[in-house]
Structure 1
Amino acid sequence: MPHRPLGVLGVPSSAAAHAPGLERSPAALRAAGLVPALERSGRRVVDHGDTTPARWRPDPPERTNPHDVDRVATVLQEARSALAPVLAAGQVPVVLGGECTVTLAVLAACADAGLDVGLVYVDGGQDLQLAADHPEEPIADSMGVAHLLDLPGTHDALAGLGPRRPLLTADRLCFVGYADDEEDVHGLVPSVRIPASSVLADPGSAARRAVAAVGTGFLVHLDVDVLDMFTLPLADVPQYGRGLTPPVLTDLLAALVSTPGWSGLVVAEANPDRDDEHATSMRTLVGLLEAALTPAS
């Protein structure tokens, strides 16, 4: 059975991030050869270009928590609209962030299209922070999943982004590869959790557990901070000496995307400012994605 085409969309935004830089990630991934690499995986690729760039700014007119939340929501609503023709054409979305909040837009677009998808969240953290718990660091980038789940205290502009609230329920969510401490400090999110240590021990088993947890039809969110920064220096918010290695991440993603229910991929948090002048790390990431998406012979 032929594979569905991939629909690539860039969302060049750092509006919800800790600082500028991520808005250049989609262009850097393309410059590193992402589209030809995806084509070499044996799939037809349609490049839908980018949404409007949005660079992080330090002080919006009115200080909010999350920071600059109305602008973040504007970025996500544009991405949501841009994904409509991708899904209508039957393409599998491959969305290039930007920061992690872009997954809100992807799930909103899927809900608009009548698609009920779960989420395998491959990330060094769980992005469950709530504004009331972190007034000193009101960054939406670390609050994305809290808003997907519409946890108490989330902001209407983000939690209400799509056609329903919540956009996702905890039983359709699985956290994979995190190395940070448990973030569900209020015990509100009874999702399956597979830490980095378990993925390192057996990435194939971790993938099977994740798919069993989220059910048929799922999106894969990939934040490159799931990798040990010493093994691939790209993450916007690095973790050192812990996390996955590139070969393990390749095996994990390959097992996930080869599942019939795989319905899309978000690649987030690859900051070109972390790379060298030859884009070595971006090229390594592109090669990793090509290997993961190429069917086993």
Structure 2
Amino acid sequence: MKPIRIIGVPSDYGQGRRGVDMGPSAIRYAGLREKLRDMGLDVTDLGDVPVPTPETRHIDNEKLKYLDEVIAVCTALCERVRDVVAAGQIPLVLGGDHSVAIGSLAGVAAAGKRFGVIWFDAHGDMNTDETTPSGNIHGMPLAASLGLGHPSLTELGGPAPKVKAQHVVLVGARSVDADEARLIRQSGITVFTMAEIDRLGMGTVMEQAIRIAGDGTDGIHLSLDLDALDPMFAPGVGTPVNGGVTYREGHLAMELLADSGRLLSVDVVEVNPILDHRNQTGRMAVELVESLLGKRVM
């Protein structure tokens, strides 16, 4: 396993609900670094990227809320991820809301990698400023990484697109806006909804996802939104949706990705301690990362 470099992004500018800015602290408090070191991994915490103070926030565009702040945060993250990947290490990015993935994927692309993406999420994150019902940029990062949307997002850190649609797989979708669904169909990405996971089983879905994201690429970026899991297992998220991935399905998905040997970079996002119960979701995030990085029963 390559060395792991933890990068915190305590930002909630991409969404309208406060609290996810404390997500990196919650995940760290659940013992992330210590548990990964107990697995024998080379782990260093690089600290947090700078985030503008929330007290200065203001909205200039209702369709792209806090755009300047999101750009500043994602640009700083892009530079850190680029340097970590270029050094042959795995960036483990702790959000913050899912808008931070714009910076993560831009950083992997800036390091010269041709990569695939497995987007583990209840939502599509495929809105643009023309389709968004909320103006929250955490609903746009996958679209932006595919080159869809406002140029300041699509071209952050380098030319668009950062990843090709043929190498992108959305897993766990169960809450998608109508116009967003149209964009998803037009984009050409692969989608496995919860209905397909129920029908095929998580094992089959992840085997196909890994094949698609890994075909002809240098590796796979996993973008793990904790709201992919059912709220029974991850209650501390900003936009929970019933009927999600179970505890064991989540771990199986991570285990299969670990077994593939194709992991290149990771986001873990949308943990909101304010809405959590005794840091259940923070602990769930750590357990999933352990499975992703190779922990097994025997």
TM normalised by structure 1 equals: 0.91
Deviations 1:136-177 (A, max 9, x none): 5111111111111122xx112111102221112211111111
Task: Find the counterpart in structure 1 of residue 137 from structure 2.
Answer: 140
| Greater Cα offset, 265-274 or 61-70 | 61-70
Q: Is 2:83–2:111's contact at 8 Å kept on the other side of the alignment? A: no
What CA distance in whole angstroms lies between the structure 1 residues aligned with 2:55 and 2:117?
30
| Alpha-carbon spacing, 1:15–1:57, altered in 2? closer, same or farther (3 Å) | farther
Query: Which amino acid is 1:40 matched to?
Result: D
Q: Is 2:254–2:291's contact at 8 Å kept on the other side of the alignment? A: no
Q: Is 1:108–1:162's contact at 8 Å kept on the other side of the alignment? A: yes
What CA distance in whole angstroms lies between the structure 2 residues aligned with 1:280 and 1:112?
35
Q: Is 1:23–1:55's contact at 8 Å kept on the other side of the alignment? A: no
| Alpha-carbon spacing, 1:291–1:169, altered in 2? closer, same or farther (3 Å) | closer
> 1:290, CA displacement in angstroms?
1.8
> 1:57, CA displacement in angstroms?
6.7
Task: Find the counterpart in structure 1 of residue 253 from structure 2.
Answer: 252
What CA distance in whole angstroms lies between the structure 1 residues aligned with 2:57 and 2:90?
37
Verify: 1:283 aligned to 2:283, yes or no.
Answer: yes
Task: Find the counterpart in structure 1 of residue 208 from structure 2.
Answer: 209
| Greater Cα offset, 165-174 or 200-209 | 200-209
Task: Find the counterpart in structure 1 of residue 16 from structure 2.
Answer: 18
Unaligned 5+ runs, structure 1: none
SS at match of 1:17: coil
Query: Which amino acid is 1:180 matched to?
Result: S
| Greater Cα offset, 23-32 or 54-63 | 54-63
SS at match of 1:184: helix
Q: Is 1:218–1:262's contact at 8 Å kept on the other side of the alignment? A: yes
Question: Which structure carries more helix by proportion?
Answer: 2
> 1:54, CA displacement in angstroms?
4.3
What CA distance in whole angstroms lies between the structure 1 residues aligned with 2:115 and 2:43?
22
> 1:295, CA displacement in angstroms?
4.5
Task: Find the counterpart in structure 2 of residue 32 from structure 1.
Answer: 30
Deviations 1:54-107 (A, max 9, x none): 465796262352111111101100111122332232111111011112221112
1:25-174 to 2 correspondence within 5 Å? 25-54=23-52, 60=58, 62-134=60-132, 136-151=133-148, 154-174=149-169
Match of 2:226 among 224, 227, 237: 224
Query: Which amino acid is 2:234 matched to?
Result: L
Query: Which amino acid is 1:18 matched to?
Result: G
Q: Hey, which bits of structure 1, 4+ residues long, moved more than 4 A?
A: 54-59
| Greater Cα offset, 105-114 or 80-89 | 80-89
Query: Which amino acid is 1:245 matched to?
Result: T
Q: Is 2:121–2:171's contact at 8 Å kept on the other side of the alignment? A: yes
Query: Which amino acid is 1:229 matched to?
Result: P
Percent identity reads 27
> 1:222, CA displacement in angstroms?
0.4
SS at match of 2:7: strand
Q: How many residues align?
A: 290
SS at match of 2:98: coil
CA RMSD of aligned residues (A): 2.0
1:192-203 to 2 correspondence within 5 Å? 192-200=190-198, 201-203=200-202
What CA distance in whole angstroms lies between the structure 2 residues aligned with 1:142 and 1:69?
13
